[in-house]
A and B are shown apart, each in its own frame.
Chain A
């Protein structure tokens, strides 16, 4: 069955640069776009980033543009989110999710991981 498992979470100092990973199984990663979505404590879901199936196109929320980089290694069945210049407001559970449809056609997310917590604190 489809599985997505995030890793790389923990406590990070402001300005830190952790990298999140999302290992997928149960489907062929190279056939799907992928996304990251986050949820700050007590808040709702916030879209973070999208990457096309082949990595050629990427899109970011304004709140993370220039600081976060989404990438993928289809041969390793893994999605990544490189974060840098972290701020306290980046504290959240980060979910990876499989995408359906192309980004500008109105993409949505059909399978999600359980999420990984990043806490930005000194």
Chain B
């Protein structure tokens, strides 16, 4: 299983708000390593969505936001659109493993 834990799936109706959690431990998120989020449409290149816990790279809509507290982080998406249907991954660094670590991914379905 993945070092960072995400729910396998979340869903919401168009226009609604959803959150995706990412739970780590004291050797990664809890060790003050930043959390980054990626959006991935299968068959394409993953895209950096949020970096440094809560920063949106240029071009990412402000409907996407990130937060971090303790050993966990969250990605929030407001004003859901059908185009948001994708897989979302959190990522951090683990100093016990000395490795880049990903969450298992969350499939977002827009109903």
Residues in chain A within 8 A of chain B (CB atoms): 4, 35, 37, 44-47, 50, 59, 61-62, 95, 97, 100, 103-115
Asked whether A45 and B102 contact (CB < 8 A) given A106-B33, A107-B93, A108-B91, the answer is: yes
| A108 and B99 contact, CB distance less than 8 A | no
Per-residue CB proximity of B69-108 to A under 8 Å, as 1/0? 0000000000000000001010111010111111111000
Q: Chain A at the B interface: mostly helix, strand, loop or mixed?
A: strand
A114 to B51 CA separation, bound complex (whole angstroms): 20
Q: Chain B at the A interface: mostly helix, strand, loop or mixed?
A: strand
Other A-B contacts than A104-B98, A108-B48, A111-B48, 10 sampled, CB-CB below 8 A, are A35-B100, A44-B87, A47-B102, A50-B100, A62-B99, A106-B92, A106-B93, A109-B36, A110-B48, A114-B44
Residues in chain B within 8 A of chain A (CB atoms): 2, 33-34, 36, 38, 40, 43-48, 51, 57, 87, 89, 91-93, 95, 97-105
